[in-house]
Amino acid sequence: MKALCWFGKENISLETVDDPKIINPRDAIVRVSLSSICGSDIHLYDGVIPTMEKGDILGHEFMGEIVEVGDEVDNLERGDRVVVPFPIACGNCHYCHIDSHALCDNSNPNAWMAEQAFGYSPAGIFGYSHLYGGYAGGQAEYVRVPYADVGPQKVPEELTDEQALFVTDVFPTGYQACDVADFEPGSTVAVWGCGPVGLFAIQCAYMLGAERVIAIDHIDSRLSTARSECGAEVLHLDDDPILESLSEMTGGRGPDVCIEAVGMEAHGGGMVDWYDRAKQTLRMETGRPHALRQAIMACGKGGTVVVPGVFGGVIDKLPMGAAFGKGLTFKMGQTHVHRYVDPLFEHIQNDEIDPTFVITHRIPLVEGAAAYEMLQKKEDNSIKVVLTP
């Protein structure tokens, strides 16, 4: 089959590889009908996520049709149209039982390595480094899906593939960011980053009762999508004094919730940016946390900072004193997608949201490598690229 494979920093190509096969009794094989490229994939493309191996198959946002199931999978049949949550979860461990599927104890074959890096191991993830299990991803024609009796969810008939696809990741990621912030109706939410995750976070903040949502980015086209499609007030990173503006817009109180939907490669400026870049290059620091620092500084007293943006290792100069002094709450982590699939399908079916608004490019899988470059450079007003095998 054809698959997009990682070979190093800014080095991705379409390769012919073996078709996947059932390995464990709870596996299924999915023939991919649609996949997409995530901001998280761009971190891989930029080479800032450790433990990728040359030849790894990419992709964790995908859906398709069941073509084969293992002996222990009795809830799925050939022909079922399913979405597959990006974290791989067993459904049996303590964390799965409390619906924290991204923290599954059992799905990461390299748990020992994650324990060394993090203390305890999170779940495995499709196509997202060997620290997260080394599973082959879905930017391919076929994927092997472990614990298929738990992960894949059948798609309601009336939804198109494009409407259903983002329930695998970015939609629930935006939703979880708001859900875990647990804010009062009438709250003000500020969102850093107007990529797909940030855009969904804006929409979900309104769904969950926010009064105002203020979005921050430095790309005009994305800011205008945030304004026109999602109804956010917007601030431009390079033109607006962010901290002052946020304070001014909230009567001097600051936002109740600050969502960091940027991650470890934030755009920044000045001496501190230079320092972070140098340290990141030397691998003394693994992230450039400008947006996170700003979110902490901007957050109002007693507020909540939520970090769906991905971080991989160690970062410097976090204003801990500010977080402490203002009594902030932090929430973060990979999304417990399984938890949100059904409720989000319902929101789509009830026409409360049409997730396809983020799609800017529809491209065949064979042109996927070029799409990575486009997304990395944020060219051609790109926001979300979907790939058809």
Ligand X SMILES: NC(=O)c1ccc[n+]([C@@H]2O[C@H](COP(=O)([O-])OP(=O)(O)OC[C@H]3O[C@@H](n4cnc5c(N)ncnc54)[C@H](O)[C@@H]3O)[C@@H](O)[C@H]2O)c1
CB 84 within 8 A of CB 143: yes
Q: Does 29 bind ligand X (CB under 6 A)?
A: no
One symbol per residue from 163 to 192: x for binding ligand X (CB under 6 A), - otherwise; what is it? ------xx--x------------------x
C-alpha 70/C-alpha 65 separation (Å) is 15
Residue 106 CB, nearest approach to other proteins (Å): 5
Q: Does 290 bind ligand X (CB under 6 A)?
A: yes
Binds 85: which of ligand X, Zn ion, other proteins, none (CB < 5-8 Å by kind): none
Q: Does 133 bind ligand X (CB under 6 A)?
A: no
Binds 15: which of Zn ion, other proteins, ligand X, none (CB < 5-8 Å by kind): other proteins
Residue 24 CB, nearest approach to other proteins (Å): 5
One symbol per residue from 245 to 264: x for binding ligand X (CB under 6 A), - otherwise; what is it? ----------------xxx-
Binds 217: which of other proteins, Zn ion, ligand X, none (CB < 5-8 Å by kind): ligand X
C-alpha 41/C-alpha 38 separation (Å) is 5
214: tokens are 């203020």
267: tokens are 């755009």
Residue 28 CB, nearest approach to other proteins (Å): 13
Residue 125 CB, nearest approach to other proteins (Å): 12
Burial class (CB in 10 A: 0-12, 13-18, 19+), 145: buried
Binds 308: which of other proteins, Zn ion, ligand X, none (CB < 5-8 Å by kind): ligand X
Q: Does 334 bind ligand X (CB under 6 A)?
A: yes
One symbol per residue from 98 to 127: x for binding Zn ion (CB under 5 A), - otherwise; what is it? ------x-x---------------------
Residue 70 CB, nearest approach to other proteins (Å): 9
Segment interacting with ligand X (CB under 6 A) among 17-25, 109-117, 160-168, 210-218: 210-218
**Among positions 36, 40, 163, 382, the unique one binding Zn ion when judged by CB under 5 A:** 40
The phi and psi torsions of 354 (rounded to 5 degrees) equal -120, 100
Residue 96 CB, nearest approach to Zn ion (Å): 3
Residue 173 CB, nearest approach to other proteins (Å): 23
> Which residues lie near ligand X (CB under 6 A)?
38-40, 42-43, 169-170, 173, 192-198, 216-219, 222, 237, 261-263, 266-268, 290-291, 308-310, 334-335
